[in-house]
């Protein structure tokens, strides 16, 4: 029987109760990993994680609150105690406030610092505690941060979100370089617009149609597209990939010529 890419690996995926996080958890389990869904303690999440565990015992759960930074260390500790090791950390949690996170002048300053604080902290603390564990392991470890194209391309009217994701990109590279000798790899996946329920709720049909004109592959990203990239980065197939920011966005944000219609291939030659 062929072994799966992530057999015998233990992973944590933060904020994994829906959307991209859940898709990542499902993909890593499919590839043979034991995956701890790090979620808020609620009746709904208890039911979801129990159901998943019933389907496949490689789905596990651990509770924490991304807004309460004191819960990060115990969350990592609980997984390490339970599983005995930690091989993969996927920092999927990320937040914004579509009403208050706007522009430099019009945006609410308190909201700006609040979002930047929460988004950076959600990667900073988990990575800090995970690296402490991973550097003691013979096999090292693997950190994958779910950033955004908003971290490399100015995101209109979502200043805090863009700034926080740019900081996460920097944290990713810094971690990669600093702990490479400990056999720890760190990479970031930068999704374009992903068609999760949460994201679609915040976007009108006309905005979406207009947006897709700027996406060469002309579709919203699917959560599984992100999950596939994460599974690759987490596997030994990516053993020599570290410190990279990998965009999964259907070509969105690529510099295109200012003449002609580059996306329809209708540029006249000669």
Ligand X SMILES: NC(=O)c1ccc[n+]([C@@H]2O[C@H](COP(=O)([O-])OP(=O)(O)OC[C@H]3O[C@@H](n4cnc5c(N)ncnc54)[C@H](O)[C@@H]3O)[C@@H](O)[C@H]2O)c1
Contacts to ligand X by CB under 6 A: 15, 17-21, 39-40, 65-67, 92-94, 146, 148, 191, 193-194, 196, 198-199
Strand partners, 227: none
Taking residue 30's Cβ as centre, other Cβ atoms within 10 Å add up to 16
Contact 223, 146 (CB under 8 A): no
- Minimum Å gap between C-beta 181 and ligand X is 28
Strand-pair partners of 36:
12, 60
The CA radius of gyration of the chain, in Å to the nearest whole number, is 19
Q: Which of 9, 165 has the CB closer to ligand X?
A: 165
Q: How far is the CB of 212 from ligand X (least distance, A)?
A: 13
Q: Which is nearer to ligand X, 98 or 267 (CB)?
A: 98
- Residue 184 contacts residue 127 (beta carbons within 8 Å): no
Q: Least separation, in Å, of the C-beta of 265 and ligand X?
A: 27
Residues 6+ away with beta carbon under 8 Å from 51? none
Instruction: Closer to ligand X by CB, 66 or 233: give it.
Output: 66
3-state SS of the chain: helix, strand, coil percent to 5? 45, 15, 40
Task: Let me know if 129 is a catalytic residue.
Answer: no
Other CB atoms within a 10 A radius of the CB of residue 261 amount to 10
User: Looking at beta carbons only, is 13 or 184 nearer to ligand X?
Assistant: 13
CA 78 to chain centre: 22
- The four Cα atoms 97, 112, 15, 132 give a dihedral, to 10 degrees, of 180
Residue number with CB closer to ligand X (66 or 134):
66
The one catalytic residue in 125, 129, 161, 179 is 161
Cα distances from 4 to residues 30, 32, 59, in angstroms, run 8, 6, 16
CB of 135 to ligand X, least distance (A): 25
- DSSP string spanning 124-168? HHHHHHHHHHHTTSTT-EEEEEE--GGGTS--TT-HHHHHHHHHH
The H or E element containing residue 164 is: helix 159-179
- Residue of closest CB approach to ligand X: 94
Q: How far is the CB of 39 from ligand X (least distance, A)?
A: 6
Cβ 5 to ligand X shortest distance, Å:
22
C-beta of 36 vs 93, nearer to ligand X: 93
Would you name the residues annotated as active-site residues? 161
């Amino acid at each position: 029987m062929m072994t799966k890419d992530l057999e015998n690996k233990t992973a944590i995926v933060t904020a994994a109760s829906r959307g991209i996080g859940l898709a990542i958890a499902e993909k890593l389990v499919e590839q043979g990993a034991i995956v701890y869904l790090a979620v808020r303690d609620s009746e709904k999440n208890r039911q979801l994680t129990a159901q998943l565990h019933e389907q496949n015992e490689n789905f596990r759960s651990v509770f924490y609150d991304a807004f309460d930074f004191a819960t990060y260390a115990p969350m990592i500790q609980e997984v390490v105690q339970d599983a005995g090791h930690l091989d993969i950390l996927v920092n999927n949690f990320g937040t914004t406030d579509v009403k208050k996170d706007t522009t430099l002048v019009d945006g609410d300053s308190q909201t700006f610092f609040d979002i930047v604080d929460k988004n950076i902290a959600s990667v900073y603390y988990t990575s800090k505690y995970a690296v402490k564990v991973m550097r003691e392991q013979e096999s090292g470890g693997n950190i994958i941060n779910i950033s955004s194209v908003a971290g490399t391309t100015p995101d209109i009217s979502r200043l805090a979100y863009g700034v926080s994701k740019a900081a996460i990109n920097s944290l990713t590279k810094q971690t990669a370089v600093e702990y490479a000798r400990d056999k720890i790899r760190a990479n970031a996946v930068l999704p374009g617009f992903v068609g999760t329920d949460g994201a679609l709720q915040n976007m009108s049909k006309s905005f979406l149609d207009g947006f897709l004109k700027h996406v060469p592959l002309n579709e919203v990203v699917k959560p599984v597209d992100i999950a596939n990239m994460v599974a690759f980065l987490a596997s030994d197939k990516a053993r020599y990939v570290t410190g990279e920011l990998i965009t999964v966005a259907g070509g969105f944000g690529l510099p295109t010529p200012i003449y002609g219609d580059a996306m329809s291939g209708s540029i006249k030659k000669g």
